[in-house]
Amino acid sequence: MKKITVIGSMNIDMLVQVDKLPVPGETMQCHNYEILPGGKGMNQAVCAAKLGAQVTMAGCLGEDMYRTFLLETLKQNKIETKHIKAVKETSTGMAIVTTSNTDNTIVVVPGANAYVDKSYAASLKKLILASDLVMLQLEIPLDTVYEIIDFCYENAIKVILNPAPGKPLLLKYIDKVTYCIPNETELQLIFHKPYQEVLKEYPGKIIMSAGKDGAYFHDGEKLVHCKAVPAKVVDTTGAGDAFNGAMAVATLAGKTLEEAVNFANQIAAFTISYKGAQGAMPDIDKLIL
């Protein structure tokens, strides 16, 4: 079985539901709250594992009660956890999400995710060399992401880079990955020009996810639009992570790029039809492919 290694963030997501967002200085009661596993890295790992891939999660957690919760969640999804490092100096990462019917605010505490540094990345070299594909996002230090991309490039290991949350990137690292999968906002932060031009400059490499509009890439001759799969939208949380996880699985299954993107659209559509992120991602046996 092909092996996927995800090197990235793991968080506790605390979700708070209110009628309207509080203004500065206002105290407000909430109707309910939930504590769920999250982080882009962990979300993508869970998606790929549910779709049948052999997945290893690498990253850092604090030595607190949330560490146990996240490790158990990973193991329940049959994800290898032995390379995850416990960090005494800090807490497990957390995202506090306050949601109303019309808007939301998110406060992110990186915590142990900030300790995914170059020395930790160096400890993963054997794991990476045994992998068929590595997945990366930008919720860990950027210089670590660059270090891993360089190592994978030197050793011909496939890489999917999801440049989220959006921030500027050195373009030479785009050239070194197999696929770069930004949304339109993230693409603009990197390139500062129309997506049509960017996709044409990086044929078969950059896939722009576009939510309800599906996804776009350039095949070297023309712009290809893979339309979104119709779905009843319940919760868009985790849709992008589902897209990336599915792209990894489809890539290793030998699908063409267009087939892989269409498959990723299908998985994203399934995910937004249910509440939550990881819990909404489908098991492979629930899909009609």
Phi, psi of 224, deg, nearest 5: -110, 125
CA torsion, points 228, 230, 235, 237, in degrees to nearest 10? -20
Q: Is residue 271 part of an annotated ligand binding site?
A: yes
DSSP letter at 180? E
Asked if residue 65 belongs to a known ligand binding site, the reply is no
Provide the angle, in degrees to the nearest 10, between the axes of the packed helices 239-252 and 257-272.
150
Q: Is 38 annotated as a binding residue?
A: no
Q: Is 210 annotated as a binding-site member? A: yes
User: Is residue 27 part of an annotated ligand binding site?
Assistant: no
Q: Would you say 8 is a known binding-site residue?
A: no
Taking CB atoms within 8 Å and a gap of at least 24, the contacts of 165-168 are 165/138, 165/139, 166/138, 166/190, 167/138, 167/142
* Phi, psi of 261, rounded to the nearest 5 degrees: -65, -40
Q: Is 42 annotated as a binding residue?
A: yes
Annotated binding residue at 14? Answer: no
Contact present, 195 and 208 (Cβ < 8 Å): yes
236-255: burial string, b at 16+ Cβ within 10 Å, e else: ebbbbbbbbbbbbbbbbeeb
32 annotated ligand-binding residue: no
For the CA atoms of 110, 114, 115, 120, what is the dihedral angle to 10 degrees?
120
Residue indicated by tokens 């890489």: 159
- Residues 243, 214: Cα–Cα separation, whole Å: 10
Q: Is 12 annotated as a binding residue?
A: yes
118 is annotated as contributing to ligand binding: no
Q: Which of 103, 143, 241, 283 is catalytic?
A: 241
DSSP state for residue 257 in the 8-state scheme: H
Whether 283 is catalytic: no
Is 139 among the annotated ligand-binding positions?
Answer: yes
Taking the C-alpha atoms of residue 212 and residue 126, their distance in angstroms, rounded to an integer, is 39
Residue 78 to residue 65: CA distance in whole angstroms = 21
Q: Is 39 annotated as a binding residue?
A: yes
Does the annotation flag 276 for ligand binding?
yes
215-218/223-226 β-pairing? antiparallel
The answer on whether 200 is annotated among ligand-binding residues is: no
72 is in an annotated binding site: no
Which residues carry a binding-site annotation for substrate? 11-13, 39-43, 139, 241
Which residues carry a binding-site annotation for K(+)? 235, 237, 271, 274, 276
Which residues carry a binding-site annotation for ATP? 183, 209-214, 240-241, 265
Residues identified as active-site: 241
Which residues carry a binding-site annotation? 11-13, 39-43, 139, 183, 209-214, 235, 237, 240-241, 265, 271, 274, 276
